[in-house]
Amino acid sequence: MTSSPTPPPVPSGPPGDRGPLRRLRARGRGEAHRTASPLELFFDLCFVVAVAQAGIQLVHSVAEGHAGEGILDYAMVFFAVWWAWMNFSWFASAYDNDDVLYRVVTLVQIAGVLVLAAGVSRAFEEHDYLVVWLGYVIMRLALATQWLRAARAAEGPERTTALRYAGGVLLCQVGWLGLLLLPEDARPWWFLVMALLEMCVPLFAERRHPTSWHPRHIAERYGLFTIIVLGETIAAATIAAKSGIDENDALGELLPIASGGLLIIFAAWWIYFVVPIHGHLRSNRQAFLWGYGHYLVFASAAAIGAGLEVAVEQTVGKAHISTLAASAAVTLPTALYLLTVWALHSRHFKAGITQQLVLPTTALLVICCTFLGDWAVLAAGVVCALSVVAGETLAARPARAEVSSALAG
């Protein structure tokens, strides 16, 4: 992936000032007031349906003592959802002209993720990926159509980039047939091969001519999806706690889990949005590494909600696993989230070793909370909250020092 400057493309102009069908031209990377559209927000809400289904099945697998198998299935299904969402988001950042055809093709992608969501339970329980594969194919064929539209309107290197994207997407769909045709034991390995090939498509397509994605728009899109995933996490945990209280009258036992879970999720939100990450997305190399890393951010954020549900079910006797296992279902994805956000976001904005160590140390302490029995989730929540306080305090010191120096001068 090169980071050479790209000639400014011809902007598509305000979406609503022309006819229902317009040429799908690239938008300018420096376009002012570039924000997420209502269609993109609706797209995100529909995609989180599939995220919720994957989380529900992960809860069932862990609660039944099949954590390893459940995590593998979760990783595979979540990749399909995340990759389709990510590809749409980057394409839209560069080419969204909001005409009728663009909206219709986006609707097809939404339909595809709903089909995928309908097949999640069969993928987990029976390892039958037919419906998931069909939903994924629908989404990816729609995206290839968009790239072909962009290629038709483009010239020179930009047209080559669009055609490479379309060809790469279509070729990968042939490879995904392996999930249906290969023996069950070989499918995880084939998934790994295909996932790597999928992630190589953007690297190959943009090798000579990067697309004109918009840094602020991309940062906003990822931030909004993070909020939606965290919101789904809160909703799932709340429903589980309500069920436990209604059916088992276990308010006292569930209160530490509910309080700790709320602290964890609020801290997760705070830590993610405390830095202006769009300023770091200056080249394709930086932006793609950041974008790919969000697979772990989104997957771990959703898994926190699943872990809270497992902790609730274990507390009321529905999950026949140990307290240690139930606690780990919360603390491990929380630690992974903290480490990933630090690696992608925070470390670029921290000055000095003390600030750099806040989140890694917090992740280690959260893992240690796993061994605190019934108080593990609450302890993890308190640790996350304290890390936010520590981070804000340390970040304020340089600012106070600068003010004092200015006053002295």
Sequence ranges of the domains in the chain? 34-212, 216-408
Residue 83, CA atoms < 13 Å, CB-side half-sphere: 23
Q: Is the pLDDT of residue 399 over 80?
A: no
Residue 24, CA atoms < 13 Å, CB-side half-sphere: 24
Residue 126 neighbours by CB under 8 Å, 6+ apart: none
**Which element (helix H / strand E) includes 169?**
helix 156-175
Question: Which of the two residues, 286 and 36, has the higher pLDDT score?
Answer: 36
Whole-model pTM? 0.87
Q: Is the pLDDT of residue 174 over 70?
A: yes
Under the banding of pLDDT at 50, 70 and 90, the label for residue 396 is low
DSSP class per residue in 201-229:
HHHHHTSSS-----HHHHHHHHHHHHHHH
Q: Is the pLDDT of residue 350 over 70?
A: no
d(CA 321, CA 339): 27
Q: Which residue has the tokens 């009728």?
A: 100
Question: Which of the two residues, 369 and 288, has the higher pLDDT score?
Answer: 369
Structure tokens at 115: 């089909």
d(CA 226, CA 51): 12
Residue 14: predicted pLDDT: 44
Calculated CA dihedral for residues 49, 51, 55, 56, nearest 10 degrees: 20
What average pLDDT score do residues 374-400 get?
A: 82
- Give pLDDT tens digits for 97-143: 888 999 999 999 999 999 999 999 999 988 899 999 999 999 999 99
What average pLDDT score do residues 270-278 get?
A: 80
**CATH number, domain 216-408, options 3.40.50, 1.25.40, 1.20.1410, 2.40.50:** 1.20.1410
d(CA 152, CA 91): 15
d(CA 152, CA 132): 31
Cβ neighbour number for residue 230 with a 10 Å cutoff:
22
Question: Which of the two residues, 390 and 302, has the higher pLDDT score?
Answer: 302
Is residue 101 within 8 Å of 136, Cβ to Cβ?
Answer: no
